[in-house]
Amino acid sequence: MGGIAEAATGRACIRDARDIDLQWVVGAIERCLTELAQRSQAVSFDPAATGRFLLGLLLSGQGRIWIAEVDGQPVGLRVAQLQHAPFHPRTILATGIVWYVEPPHRGHGIGGQLVEVFEHWAQEQGATWLSVLPMASARSTRAFYSHRGYTLVEEHFIKGVPDVG
């Protein structure tokens, strides 16, 4: 599923990620987590493990990665996964694991288009619910999803476990 969104710097095309995109995707996820760490708790990141996770997600058929391109260059991504709800196996959750647009390309509709592609894919896969993991401290992200019909159902806390030893 692809599409086009207007952006100030050119046209943004959404496409499925390819093998050659994996390095860029891992780097974009690292930039996303670095941005998150600047706002709240640090989140550990291992590029090799991230690459293995993404590859496994794609090979299992239980996930999808989309790339947003402007002028032939990747500027954003969406990583999604399908899973059965832990307490109701007939309920299929489509979870947006990572959603990132490079800072110079924000505010031009690319993030919205990535969400639309995710939602369409989830519907095609028979998902019953959509779940997204927004940055808790980003009010703009909360407003973005609320405007699209999402409801905040819980907040997520994180704390490092002290070394025992």
User: What is the per-residue pLDDT across 43-82, written as a single tens digit (0 to 9) for each?
Assistant: 678 899 999 999 999 889 899 999 999 999 999 999 999 9
**Cα→Cα distances 146→36, 72, 76, 134, Å:** 20, 31, 21, 11
In this structure, is residue 15 part of a structural domain?
yes
58 three-class SS:
helix
Res 41 pLDDT > 70: no
Q: Helix 47-60 and helix 22-39: axis angle, to 10°?
A: 120
94 three-class SS:
strand
The residue ranking higher by pLDDT, 4 or 125, is: 125
165 three-class SS:
coil
In this structure, is residue 153 part of a structural domain?
no
**Cα→Cα distances 116→16, 88, 148, Å:** 14, 26, 10
117 three-class SS:
helix
Domain interval for residue 48: 3-147
In this structure, is residue 111 part of a structural domain?
yes
Q: Which CATH number characterizes residue 120's domain?
A: 3.40.630.30
* pTM for the structure as a whole: 0.82
**Cα→Cα distances 143→7, 135, 152, Å:** 20, 12, 10
For the chain, how many structural domains are there in total?
1
User: What six digits make up the tokens of 126?
Assistant: 């028979």
Res 163 pLDDT > 70: yes
In this structure, is residue 113 part of a structural domain?
yes
Res 8 pLDDT > 80: no
Q: What are phi and psi of 121, to 5 degrees?
A: -60, -45
In this structure, is residue 159 part of a structural domain?
no
Check residue 61 and give left, alpha or beta (phi > 0: left; psi -120 to 50: alpha).
Answer: left
